[in-house]
Chain A
C-alpha cells in the first residue's frame, strides 16, 4: 500500500506564475488535508477536503489559493500569481473515511515551493 504521494517534490516558479501541487492519498482514504510549513515555523492547516467537497478552508488565504479533490485523480492545491512569501513546504495528509481512535493522518513528503 503506497503512502501519500506528492509531486513534484521540488517546484521553482517565478513571481506571477502559477504553482500546481498534487497529492494522491493513500488507497482507501477519502479525507485530504493540506498544510503549509514556512521556514522556522510549524505546519499550519490550510484546507480539508473530501471527494468533490471542501469541508473546511478556514486556513486558506482568501486570494490566489484554491484546492480541489475531484472524484477521480489527485487533490490539487493551486496558487495563482505566486509571490516570494509563498515559498514554503506544502504537505498533504490523508485519513480514512471512518474516524475512529485507531485512525491517523498520514503525511506525504511534501512539495518544496521556491518562488524566485
Chain B
C-alpha cells in the first residue's frame, strides 16, 4: 500500500521567490511519483513525473522535482514564482507508470498562494 504526505496545506510566497512544495511518500515497491496542478474548477494537469532513471525531473512551467529515495521525498520546486502559479498542487504515487492497477494515491494537496 502507498501513502503520500504533503506538508503544509497552504504555502504563500512572494512573486519572484523560490517555490518549495514538500511531498513524502511511503511505498512497499519502487514508486512512480507524480506532481499534478489543479486550477480552480479545472481538472488535473500533469506537471512532471518520476518513473526510472534521472532523479531530478524537469516539468512544465519551470517546475522540477527531485526523487530522494533515502528521504522518501519528492519535493517540487520552482526558482521564481509567477502569479499564474497560484493553484492547488497534488503529489501522487503509483505502482505503475500509467496509474497502475489501483490507480494513483494522492496527497491532500497544497494550495500555493503568490503574493504580489
Contact = CB atoms under 8 A, between A and B. Distances in A.
Interface in A69-116: 91, 93, 95-96, 99-110, 112
A101 B97 contact: yes
Chain A interface extent, by class: 20 to 34
Contact of A99 (B46, B49, B96, B104): B96
B49 to A, nearest CB: 6
B98 A95 contact: yes
A112 B90 CA distance: 19
A42 interface: yes
Nearest to B36: A107
B102 A45 contact: yes
A95 B101 CA distance: 11
B98 A96 contact: yes
Given A45-B104, A48-B103, A104 B46 contact: yes
A101 B44 CA distance: 20
Nearest to A58: B102
Given A42-B109, A43-B104, A95 B42 contact: no
Interface in B7-43: 9, 34, 36, 41-43
A42 B43 contact: no
A44 B104 CA distance: 8
B45 to A, nearest CB: 8
A93 B104 CA distance: 10
Nearest to B46: A104
Interface of A: 4, 31, 33, 35, 40-45, 48, 55-56, 58-59, 91, 93, 95-96, 99-110, 112
